[in-house]
Chain A
Amino acid sequence: MAHIGLNDEEVAQMSLELSRFVDLVDQLQSVDTSGIEPTDQVTGLVDVMRADEIKPSKLSREQLLTNAPEQENGYIKVRRVL
């Protein structure tokens, strides 16, 4: 899911560290959170809207493509999917 190709050594090291990590965060399981709302926005902003208008980009296509490792005819090139 995370799309990181780890080698065997990394997998062993990470497994060890992650099980220690799970021990740390498991202390939350004993907290009574019944009736508590989850927080995902701390200042209370909700659904910030703007007008649905097209605005021209200040950046050109060339500028936006300068960092692409591979490109062709103004498009970003990728490897075959399968």
Chain B
Amino acid sequence: MIDLTRPIAELVEQVQLGKVSARELVQASFDKIEASKDLHAVLEINPEALNQADKIDRQIAEAGQKILKGSSASLTLQDDSWGQMSKVKGQRSNVNGQRLLGIPFIVKDNFLTLNTHTTAASNILKPFKSPYQATATNKLEAEGAILVAKANLDAFGHGSSTENSDFGVTLNPWDKTRVPGGSSGGSAAAVAAGLACFALGTDTGSSIRLPASFCGIVGLKPTYGLVSRSGVIAMGSSFDVIGPLANSVADASLILDIMAGKDELDATTIERDLDSYQVKTSSSPNSLQNARSAVQGLKVGVIKEFMGEGVDAGVKAQINAAISRLEVAGAEITEISIPYNDLALACYYILVPAEISSNLSRFDGIRYGHSAVEAKTLAETYDLSRDQGFGPEAKRRILIGTYVLSSGYYDAYYKKAQKVRTMIKKQYERALEEVDVLVGPNAPSTAFKIGQKAHNPLDMYLTDVMLVGVNLAGIPSISVPVGLSDGLPVGIQVMASQCSEAKLLRIAAEIESEAPKMELPV
């Protein structure tokens, strides 16, 4: 079976060389999805994926690139054809210049896609089929990528475990009694288990980095506004970003490079600050040396509050080991305090529900989604459709948001929280004037047991205490796997100033190349 966790650039080369077809990659993805059904990472298959693969294969054939169609489609680094690759590089046609040629990918089910339903894992959108597609998905397809499936999530992105999905929990491939994290838990589990080459997720307070950390993969939350959110179902619009979940920093940087930039369909997008966000693969021969010189003299600030009491010893040990390896590689390590982060959760849980209550007001049972057939008046259509369609967590957040925005409470809660957001944001910015990047754990523990926090919403909210500050500040952050604690993955969180993705990715690549290799138990 083709291993879809291999570096994307290598798989693309294989497709370009005709050693493997797009159809074979998509079929490998479908086979793996079928074999991993128990994970419940995927909600729906794209029925057009094989047709799209065939179209790409025809284009490649027409471009006359069917060289070296070998007898075996097996992909190993030792394959003797690698030596021949440089000889054919110059012959690529346009289709073969596509950077994701034939690569199967998965998106979280809050991305609008053609050919499948888009449910946000909520009953209220169960019947919904979008007439248009997210900009991010379009950009990936324009590079030859093939959407194979939609991934499970906490409904509308509300949660840290995927237990809030209306369609059932996703299991962590490292330990099926544990959660994959959330809310992009289906995306993370899918990538970790090799169901596709990469996945897209969204991150409003933790939702890319936490599941990446719990599932032992790379998760990148870019600077707010760097990637268009057109066609992605909104949660908290002053926080939401979309980003890749991938098997390596190099893969994540390639996906970011393809998606980043201004989009007239999303007025909050910002200009790209770099021609390329791509970093070299850590397996390429010179990259270790390059990375080493790249972190030489860089200042790394360890967030003091993230390494204190309440953080599991096993998590702390892996984070400290990764920091020590950075020090050996030439980085200068200092301790940084961000005391206002103590206010981050309270601030976040006022502002985000407020934005949620506004964004979810569009679900009215009239234009799309679930509609209560028994309603007799317009008001009943609203009340019954929303009561039947939304799950408990969405209702909880809508009620909180409506409360903090209501007249009489607006200044005391909403406006107050907006001011505290300024204070927290400034403290992160000042810290990042002193150091190049900040580091710490993503969460106080590794993946927790299914059901452990499900009945206590506040306990679940506390999972994100080290992650929401980044979203309040709008800065980029990445989770990189650094080792195991009691057999479960630990990820380090690296943060940089707004639009400092280049630096962030460079350091992340170094951390990755120095980290012990983690093998998913079979």
Contacts and interface: CB of A to CB of B under 8 A. Distances in A.
Given A10-B395, A42-B474, A43-B474, A33 B129 contact: no
A81 B384 CA distance: 15
B115 interface: no
Interface in B425-480: 425, 457-458, 461, 472-474
B399 to A, nearest CB: 6
Interface in A1-27: 1-6, 10, 14, 17-18, 20-21, 24-27
Interface in A33-82: 33, 36-43, 45, 48, 50, 58-59, 63-64, 66-70, 76, 78-82
Interface string B378-400: 11111110110010100110111
A26 B403 CA distance: 14
B399 A81 contact: no
B357 interface: yes
A67 B367 contact: yes
Nearest to A43: B225
A75 to B, nearest CB: 11
Given A31-B420, A64-B131, A42 B378 contact: no
Interface stretch (B30-38, B154-162, B275-283, B346-354): B346-354
B321 interface: no
Interface residues of A, number: 46
Contact of B376 (A26, A58, A70, A79): A79
B200 interface: no
Among A18, A59, A78: residue with most chain B CB under 10 A: A78
A1 B406 CA distance: 9
Contacts of B384: 5
B132 interface: yes
Contacts of A43: 223-225, 268, 270, 474, 498
Nearest to B405: A1
B5 interface: no
B289 interface: no
Contacts of B383: 3-5
B238 interface: yes
B371 interface: yes
Interface string B400-435: 101110100000110111111111010000000000
B106 to A, nearest CB: 23
- Report, nearest first, the 4 A-B pairs whose CB atoms are least far apart: A42-B474, A38-B418, A67-B368, A5-B383
